[in-house]
Structure 1
Amino acid sequence: MTPGVAPDKPKRRPAMKSAFVVVANRLPVDQTTDPDGTVRWRRSPGGLVTALEPVMRANKGAWIGWSGSSDDGDERQEPFDEAGMHLIPMQLTSDDVEEYYEGFSNGTLWPLYHDVIAQPVFHREWWDAYTKVNERFARAAAEVADEGAVVWVHDYQLQLVPEMLRALRPDLRIGFFLHIPFPPNELFARLPWRRQILRGLLGADLVGFQRPGAAANFLRLTRRMLGHQTQADRAILADGRIVRAGAFPISIDMAELEEIARRPETEARAQEIRDEIGNPDKVFLGIDRLDYTKGIGERIKAFFELLNEGELSPEEATFLQVATPSRERVEEYKALRNDVELLVGRVNGAHGRIGRPAMTYLHNSFVRTELAALYRAADVMVVTPLRDGMNLVAKEFIACRYDNTGTLILSEFAGAADELRQALLVNPYDVDGLKQALLQAVRVEPREASRKMRAMRRYLAEHDVDRWANTFLEKLAGRPEL
């Protein structure tokens, strides 16, 4: 592209019929506007986009999702092509955003599905908005899907879509994948609309989860609350239709990330980062959305106590925490940000020195090249969610450690713990245990760290995003050997 020349606006055209349709809350691109008014689209950060972009390209599919901006007017955003994908924007009003997205999705379902770390709120008007928005997504999918198409619906915001879509288009093959945990009966039973959610999911032919325990919870609830017969990995509905459920742990494009990490400019930037934070012997790194499920406060507390006790010093180790802004209009998240920033201030107030902070805190979003440099700059990746469906940050760190260096500290409550068994697995609620893991990571023998990293990299190379998507889609297609 010629320097200084803005790219053309995305080519817009009517939605075409597609044999492969992805339905997700968000489009895989974000809209930005330059000071001169030029509208640009860039690929969104986040696990779902990272995972599905190569699948979309390979299958020439259509993606239905919200653009991220609320629109209370009558102007409709037309389908367009961007980043090799055909994209179909869904309109959400400011009321939809408040009640369907911030309300029921993130004020009711998110805390309920994450072990009630925060208390869920049950408002009937939120449920009504959730139902209406799910209906709009289902109708959009019914319009764009070709005869006999495969439709893959994603995540907790759209759990009613499979049943609604089946009613509109019984010819379709419908899959659903939940990216967050699915709770046991003791938690799910609190939901006033629990049966509606289960029936919504049972509209799919295949329901996928991150962990086997989540699939077992779903089948158990289907039997207990709806009375359907279950056998092994399937529920048998009253009309004889079979719905299968199973674990399909999501992954990443390891080759792409490793290529970025190997670039000379990435290595140079990694060294710059270390220099900017005082070039300590060891760098701990945390990269998370600023969310109460991520265990950010617990890990900072553990690091703080090690400094207070003299077990670590800022010369020996510093902590770099990236907290990506998230749901900033929600009061719980505002309070969380204040709590984290106050704790970081206490750490640096007690142990920071001029030119050598004990902890560096960044409340910002970063492009993939900068994230790769951060992964390369770190010695120890600290991934300690209190509850997480998978956590792709752990896998991204491993992908960037092409020289088999570095140590991963990983919560046993993240889905990734099922796969990355060579990590230092911790209970993030156990601050003393977390402290011991931090010390062990600092003092581990290089040969032992290399052996563990090599094993995790070998596993990740064999279980990348292509394998995840292909395994799910092949099972959705009814391959008998799967």
Structure 2
Amino acid sequence: MTNAQFVVVANRLPVDRQSVDEQEVWRRSPGGLVTALEPVMRATDGAWVGWAGQAGLDLEPFEFEGTLLVPVPLSADEVESYYEGMSNDTFWPLYHDVIAAPRYRRVWWDAYVRVNRRFAEAAASVAGQGATVWVQDYQLQLVPAMLRQARPDLTIGYFHHIPFPAYGLYSQLPWRKQVLEGLLGADVIGFQRVADASNFARAVRRQLRYQTKASGITVPYPDGTTRNALAKAFPISIDTSSYAELAQRDDIRARAAEIRESLGNPRKILLGVDRLDYTKGIRHRLKAFGELLEDGRVGVEDVTLVQVASPSRERVEAYVQLRGEIESMVGRINGDYDTVGHTAIRYLHQAYPREEMVALFLAADVMLVTALRDGMNLVAKEYVAARTDNRGVLVLSEFTGASDELTSSVRINPHDIDGLKDAIVRAIDMTPGEQGRRMRAMRRKVLVNDVAAWSKSFLEALEQAGRSAS
């Protein structure tokens, strides 16, 4: 047992195992959460509990850049049942407004409980007396209560990175009470939007009959005593300055010009950047663009859509089907409208390093974020952070958490295809003056509310909760 005073518990460790010169080495994973928590981990001799990303790998805890990493082993069956099944074929579609039908399988739930207990035990074994433990996301919703039962001395936080659904949808879940009780093991339960925190509080009132007042929830114990849990919004953000710095680099600006040239120097470039996921509204975006070409409102010589769709959950059937549908749509639109010199849609089914993404952001005149439901959507914030020139237009779905903050975007309902088409044309034709006014307002928001501010605000609330409890 170690004595870490700050412990992060997440589905994945903050490192990836890579093969270099026939040797296995660990490299830091890209991502906002890792960036946000790195200074805290270093300052507190922190520990990070998570899966190493490979089935059947059983490793001892090890040090990486000043942080103790505590790997939690998962068998191939557990990856299939706990991760691909319960997490991504039950919770993910249910929490994203049942855009795809969730599947409820008891064998998946059993694996979910078993794996959550393993994570909780690993965290309990490395946390020092009175330590702070921060649990991350929907794969680990039972961990807070399991931890509290094992280690009542701990201060426990939980952050929910995806939406929390309205009660009418949430109530479908066969294990709805167990999940609520699991989350209420935390002193602070954080959500992306005020609406998500409200949905959670309503589910608690309806299912558990606990008293809720403002952001507070009164959690009773069997002995008649009570504890107060805080459930409120802490909108997550990005490492804004790193995107702004990359956007100023000469080589990345040159790459942006190169991208425009490779696309035939169209008058306007539209950009979509998403994981290949049914929540992202990629089909709606393609349909709207295809109809604009068909209507003659845009021409293939003038406007190109670049769609980056990084691979995601390729063993889950709904994702396999989605990829087929999207690639069929792209092929049909390109077949109908491509010329020898110009392509309607440049479709890229691969992930790119951050440098290439920033070059794409700089090359793109219009960023299309058409998610049907999204906890936040950090790509919208990344585009804004990269546009140090105060140019470019963000077309943003009102069903993303980011739309609560980026109110100077062109907001759309992605289900309204005619409205989406009009918004795209409006964005294409927007004057430089209006682009500048909107982009400056959005940039002010993301510069102040960056990922460091997010983690600071959550941890301050957690510290205050810990003091109140002691």
- Does TM, normalized by the shorter one, top 0.5? yes
State the partner residue of 1:424: 410
Deviation at 1:355, TM superposition (A): 3.4
- For the 8 Å contact 2:307–2:348, the answer to whether it is kept is yes
Q: 1:286 to 1:96 in 2, by over 3 A?
A: same
Letter paired with 2:227: R
2:90 alignment partner in structure 1: 108
Match of residue 10 from structure 1: none
CA apart distance, 1:375: 1.0
Match of 1:242 in 2: 228
Of the structure 1 ranges 24-33 and 182-191, higher mean CA displacement relative to structure 2 is found in 24-33
Q: Distance in 2 between matches of 1:458 and 1:61?
A: 32
Residue pair 2:32, 2:239 contacting (<8 A) in 1 also:
no
Give the TM-score, by structure 2 length. Answer: 0.96
Amino acid at match of 1:309: D
Alpha-carbon distance in 2 for matches of 1:57, 1:317: 47
Letter in 1 for 2:105: H
Question: 1:461 is matched with which residue?
Answer: 447
| 1:400 corresponds to which of 386, 389, 395 | 386
2:334 is matched with: 348
Q: Structure 2 residue aligned with 1:91, among 66, 70, 73?
A: 73
| 1:170-221 per-position Cα deviation (integer Å, ceiling 9, x unaligned) | 1100000000000111011100000000000000000000000111111111
User: How far apart, CA to CA, are the structure 2 residues paired with 1:49 and 1:95?
Assistant: 28
Q: By how many angstroms is 1:362 displaced?
A: 0.5
Task: After TM superposition, give the deviation of residue 234 of structure 1 in Å.
Answer: 0.8
Question: 2:161 matched to 1:179?
Answer: yes
| Separation in 2, partners of 1:362, 1:112 | 28
2:358 pairs with 1:376: no
Please give the alpha-carbon distance, in whole angstroms, between the structure 1 residues aligned to 2:27 and 2:453: 26
Q: How does 1:129-278 map to 2 (within 5 A)?
A: 129-238=111-220, 239-278=225-264
Q: In the alignment, which residue of structure 2 is the partner of 1:329?
A: 315
The equivalent of 1:37 in structure 2 is: 22
Corresponding letter in the other structure for 2:320? K
| Mapped partners of 2:96, 2:32: distance in 1 | 18
For structure 1, list consecutive stretches of 5 or more residues without a partner in the other structure. Answer: 1-14
Distance across 2 between alignment mates of 1:284 and 1:255: 24
Tell me, yes or no, if the aligned pair for 1:207 and 1:246 is still in contact at 8 Å.
Answer: yes
Select 2:269's aligned residue among 277, 283, 288: 283
In the other structure, the counterpart of 1:435 is 421
Q: Distance in 2 between matches of 1:195 and 1:275?
A: 56
- 1:52 Cα offset (Å): 3.5
Q: Does 1:66 align with 2:51?
A: yes
Distance in 1 separating the partners of 2:178 and 2:434: 50
- SS at structure 2 position matched to 1:386: coil
The amino acid that maps onto 1:96 is: E
CA distance, structure 1, for counterparts of residue 40 and residue 95 of structure 2: 27
Q: How far off its partner does 1:16 sit?
A: 4.0
CA contact (8 A) 2:370 2:396 kept: yes
Do the aligned partners of 1:261 and 1:373 also contact (CA within 8 Å) in 2?
Answer: yes
Q: Distance in 2 between matches of 1:54 and 1:356?
A: 47
Matched positions, count: 463
Q: CA 1:115–1:20 in 2, change beyond 3 Å: closer, same or farther?
A: same
Matches of 1:173 and 1:77 in 2, distance apart? 27
2:32 touches 2:451 (CA, 8 Å); kept in 1?
no
Distance in 1 between residues matched to 2:368 and 2:390, nearest whole Å: 17
For residues 83 and 397 of structure 1, what CA distance do their matches in structure 2 show?
A: 30
Q: Which amino acid aligns with 1:348?
A: N
Residue 358 of structure 1: aligned partner: 344
Change (3 A) 1:379 1:16: farther
Secondary structure in 2 matching 1:216:
helix
For residue 315 of structure 1, report the CA deviation from its aligned partner: 2.0
User: How far 1:49 moved relative to its partner?
Assistant: 3.4
Q: 1:31: Cα distance to partner?
A: 1.4
Q: Distance in 1 between matches of 2:274 and 2:123?
A: 32
Contact 1:20 1:149 in 2 (8 A): yes
User: Partners in 2 of 1:67 and 1:336 — Cα distance?
Assistant: 28
Q: Which residue of 1 is the match for residue 10 of structure 2?
A: 24
Contact 2:218–2:228 (CA under 8 A) maintained in structure 1: yes
CA contact (8 A) 2:396 2:412 kept: yes
- Structure 1 residue 80 displacement after superposition: 2.6
Partner amino acid, structure 1, of 2:407: R
What is the Cα deviation at residue 88 of structure 1?
1.7
Instruction: Identify the range of structure 1 (348-357 vs 212-221) with the bigger mean alpha-carbon deviation.
Output: 348-357
Structure 2: any 5+ residue segments left out of the alignment?
none
Structure 1 position 32, deviation (Å)? 1.7
- Letter of the structure 2 residue corresponding to residue 149 of structure 1: A
Q: TM-score, normalised by structure 1?
A: 0.93
Give the secondary-structure state (helix, strand or coil) at the position aligned to 1:97.
helix
